Amino acid sequence: MACEHAHDFSGSLHQLLATAQQQLDEIKPPFVRDMRQKAPHVFKTVERRRAELIQRYFGKLFAEGQRTGKVRKDIPGELIIEILLGAVQAIMNPPKIEELGLTPKAGFVAITKVVLEGALLRARGQ
């Protein structure tokens, strides 16, 4: 995934996020509800696999971004990944998604925006 744009950090990030969003778009609220009610043990496997994929793909991308000056170097890449994983695990689970009234795609988009762009608006001219 991230290898397609090895020398283009922005392109690689865009492709990674677009692929994740496309896959999450296929998960509809009834599926989330059913997972919560009927197969919570299966969701543990989903969480473990998701964490592995985030560590692999975002980890490579952030390391490359730090090397090329596109990602902050004052925060260790491993910490950035742990922050992303923590947010994903806290929000991207059936009870929380249902409670917040989100789709998995909307939850993931919000998480990545806050982690990658921050929550504060910048003043004009900054």
Per-residue pLDDT tens over the stretch 64-118 = 999 999 999 999 999 999 999 999 999 988 889 889 999 889 999 999 999 988 8
Token representation of residue 81? 């990944």
pLDDT given for residue 124 in this prediction: 66
26 pLDDT higher than 80: no
11 pLDDT higher than 50: yes
Token representation of residue 97? 């998604």
55 pLDDT higher than 90: yes
The phi, psi pair for 16, rounded to 5°, reads -60, -45
CA dihedral 3, 84, 99, 46 (to 10 degrees): 50
Q: What percent of the chain has pLDDT over 90?
A: 44
Token representation of residue 120? 């504060």
Token representation of residue 88? 């994903």
Number of H helices, E strands in the chain: 7, 0
The rounded distance, in Å, linking the Cα atoms of 31 and 42 is 12
The rounded distance, in Å, linking the Cα atoms of 9 and 61 is 7
The rounded distance, in Å, linking the Cα atoms of 39 and 11 is 37
Residue-by-residue DSSP string for 68-100: TTSS-SSS-HHHHHHHHHHHHHHHSSHHHHHHH
CB 72 within 8 A of CB 61: no
pLDDT given for residue 24 in this prediction: 80
